[in-house]
Amino acid sequence: MSLTNSAPKQKGGITALGIGQLVSWGTLYYSFPLIAEAMVNDLGWSRADLYGAATLGLLISTLAVCPIGALIDHGKGRFILVGATLAASLALIAWSFVETLVTFYCIVITVGILQAAVSYEPAFAVAVQQLKTQSSRSAITTITLWAGFASTVFVPLLHLMIDELGWRGALFGLAVINTAIAGPLYLWATRATSAAKQPINEASEHKENVKPILYSLRFYLLTASFCVYMALFSGFTYHIYPLLSALTTDTQTVLFAIALIGPAQVGGRVLLLLFEDVSIKHLGLLAGVSFPLAILMLKAPPSVFTFASLCVLYGAANGIFTIVRGMAVPELLTQHNYGTINGIMLIPMSLARAAAPWAIAAYWTYSGAPSGALNVLLALAILIPVLFGLAICTKHSHHTR
């Protein structure tokens, strides 16, 4: 898990970002399905109501995407990552005292906005800012290698915490973990960029380099592919636990299968370090085709093998496609204005990520069977390689280097 072409301090900073991402994803994202299920049983609220709050939070968070990117470009990475982490811990504590649906919505919407400040994109932007264009692929791979353990660590940990402390106590525990681990790591990792400023000549080139990309068909096809990917990722993350639980009464089998996602993601990313010469185009197609194959496993009779196969294949594909998404701008579009172009793409991607959990939950409620949610996930999975394939086959005449 190291960068081969950077100084020791840079290696340490990237590793710190990666471990911080592991904690951020585990406490703020992967925790929601388990907490939500416990709240359904305890408070009697519907899944649609609960996931509606998460959807609103993710939708509103799209308003923060561009300002967050701009602040990081101007050397405010420390303020964004550390500040959002501490604020998220306070929000988790407030969540543990929730008694009404209105209060729950306010808190979860706040958490959704804060997720935008501690997700992959801000961490990638800080890494690229530290390393410039050198070793960016290795840096992004390293960050996601660590973050890939989030579900493996936090799903069984949170399940244990809920059993022992209840969902309210578990939320308080997550806040402590977030503050004690992620906060200091982000503080240390961003030391090199806290005073960085965007060069004046880079700002003056902004419009010149971005405008041609916005006329590129490849840009829009890639964005569409990534939007569908984000919808699948969000829908799968939020619903895989209740979906598998609806297909079997064996909770241990469900937890075992989900715990395999993290190692599978890591395995996929380790392969990228071993085969750095493989193009992003080929990696994107390989991972894209794997998504529908993984979801199809749920059409087979429920068993440890089918659940494990689903999670391993999905995890490996997701691990690779995350790198593809992070490197698509410099390798398939342009090496200039990474943050700006990525930020533009993130707006519809964030909307897709936000809408998917609620839409799938609502359709599941409407259909009255888990097969409804499964079919939606399968349709999304099929679209990913189709759109990505069209994108890389499209002539890109504005590929600026």
Q: What is the pLDDT of residues 13-41, one digit of tens each?
A: 889 999 999 999 999 988 998 999 999 98
**What's the mean pLDDT in 163-187?**
96
What CA–CA distance (Å, rounded) separates 381 from 289?
Answer: 8
**What's the mean pLDDT in 3-10?**
52
> What does pLDDT average to over the chain?
85
pLDDT tens for each residue of 87-115: 999 999 999 999 999 999 999 999 988 99
pLDDT tens for each residue of 37-76: 999 989 989 888 898 888 888 788 888 887 887 787 777 8
pLDDT score, position 201: 44
Percent of the chain whose pLDDT exceeds 70: 90
Three-state secondary structure readout of the chain: CCCCCCCHHHHHHHHHHHHHHHHHHHHHCCHHHHHHHHHHHHHCCCHHHHHHHHHHHHHHHHHHHHHHHHHHHCCCHHHHHHHHHHHHHHHHHHHCCCCCHHHHHHHHHHHHHHHHHHCHHHHHHHHHHHHCCCCHHHHHHHHHHHHCCHHHHHHHHHHHHHHHHHHHHHHHHHHHHHHHHHHHHHHHHCCCCCCCCCCHHHHHCHHHHHHHHCCCHHHHHHHHHHHHHHHHHHHHHHHHHHHHHHHCCCHHHHHHHHHCHHHHHHHHHHHHHHCCCCCHHHHHHHHHHHHHHHHHHHHCCCCHHHHHHHHHHHHHHHHHHHHHHHHHHHHHHECCCHHHHHHHHHHHHHHHHHHHHHHHHHHHHHHCCHHHHHHHHHHHHHHHHHHHHHHHHCCCCCCEC
Assign 135 a pLDDT band (cuts: 50, 70, 90). Answer: low
pLDDT tens for each residue of 191-244: 755 444 444 344 444 445 677 888 889 999 999 999 999 999 989 988 888 899
Domains of the chain: 7-192 (1.20.1250.20), 208-401 (1.20.1250.20)
Supply 358's token pair: 């609620």
- Which of 71-80, 158-167, 282-291, 303-312 is least confident? 71-80
Has residue 119 got a pLDDT over 80?
yes
pLDDT score, position 200: 39
pLDDT score, position 84: 96
Has residue 175 got a pLDDT over 80?
yes
* 301/19: higher pLDDT: 19
pLDDT tens for each residue of 356-378: 888 898 888 888 888 888 999 99
pLDDT score, position 44: 87
pLDDT score, position 147: 87
Supply 244's token pair: 């598998």
Assign 161 a pLDDT band (cuts: 50, 70, 90). Answer: very high
Put simply, whether the predicted model's pTM sits higher than 0.95 gets the answer no
pLDDT score, position 7: 53
As beta bridge partners, residue 334 has 400
pLDDT score, position 56: 87
pLDDT score, position 270: 86
* 302/27: higher pLDDT: 27
pLDDT score, position 204: 45
**What's the mean pLDDT in 325-354?**
82
Has residue 5 got a pLDDT over 60?
no
